[in-house]
Amino acid sequence: MKTMNRTKVFLTTASFALAILLTPQLALAHCDTLDGPVVADARIALVKEDVTPVLKWLQAEDEQEVRELFAKTLAVRKLNPQAQELADTYFFETLVRVHRAGEGAPYTGLKAAGSVEPVVAKADKALEQGSVDELAKAIAVHTDKGIRERFNHALETSKHAQDSVQAGREYVAAYVTYVHYVEGIAQAVHASAHHGEKTAPAAHNH
């Protein structure tokens, strides 16, 4: 029974942690980097001279615009190395802009390689490896530590909350920090699906 309870706590903590850390803001930021998945597919498309790899990043109504730009890019990049670099960059920028517009997100320019948030990079790595175990465990440990630290501080200050006004204020500050941290995790877990994501099917109890 204890083992089962520990497993439930771990899975719950991991789910909360993943939800709060892999927020829409991070996901949106991921696609506008030079080493992100959108540009990576764009590079493949240019090498193969086949636009197909990038189409999955677009809404159906935006496909024609990118197809036309892709054809022009292939023509221009054959002129000389400088033209190729400029054409490629413009294609990357346009593709990312159109992709983000389809998500309802603003475009603020391409970000340098290496600017992907660490947790997002780890999420990508988990997909490449075919296992989320390492990622889930790492985030669960991080979140567990965060909750415990705030809980312990709130608990300790509560013991002296009635000693003085200052002590009471210290308790209130610790309490608010603790509750908001937990509340933030809960809100992330119950937030609306991102980019039209379908809610995962609920697990059946046996």
Render pLDDT for 154-181 as a digit per residue (tens, 0 to 9). 999 999 999 999 999 999 999 999 999 9
Tell me how far apart the alpha carbons of residues 14 and 3 are, in angstroms, rounded to a whole number.
16
Contact 34, 112 (CB under 8 A): yes
Domain segments of the chain as ranges: 2-103, 131-193
Q: Which residues of 49-76 are buried (b: 16+ CB within 10 A; e: fewer)?
A: eebebbeebbeeebeeebeebbeebbeb
DSSP of 162-196: TT-HHHHHHHHHHHHHHHHHHHHHHHHHTSPPGGG
Beta strands in 26-175 (DSSP E): none
Q: Specify the range with the lowest mean pLDDT, choosing from 21-25, 27-31, 107-111.
A: 21-25
14: pLDDT strictly greater than 90: no
Q: How many helices (H) and strands (E) does the chain have?
A: 9, 0
DSSP conformational letter for 111: B
Q: Cα 35 from chain centroid? A: 15
Q: Between 161 and 199, whose confidence is greater?
A: 161
**High-pLDDT (> 70) share of the chain, %:** 76
The predicted model gives 51-69 an average pLDDT of: 95
Q: Specify the range with the lowest mean pLDDT, choosing from 29-33, 96-100, 140-144.
A: 29-33
Q: Between 123 and 69, whose confidence is greater?
A: 69
Nearest partner of 92 among 29, 41, 58, 47, judged by Cα = 41
The predicted model gives 78-100 an average pLDDT of: 95
149: pLDDT strictly greater than 70: yes
pLDDT of residue 75: 96
The predicted model gives 40-57 an average pLDDT of: 95
pLDDT of residue 53: 94
Kindly state the tokens that stand for 155: 């608990």
pLDDT of residue 116: 66
The predicted model gives 61-71 an average pLDDT of: 96
7: pLDDT strictly greater than 60: no
Q: Specify the range with the lowest mean pLDDT, choosing from 5-19, 87-101, 162-176.
A: 5-19
129: pLDDT strictly greater than 50: yes
pTM score of the predicted model:
0.55
62: pLDDT strictly greater than 60: yes
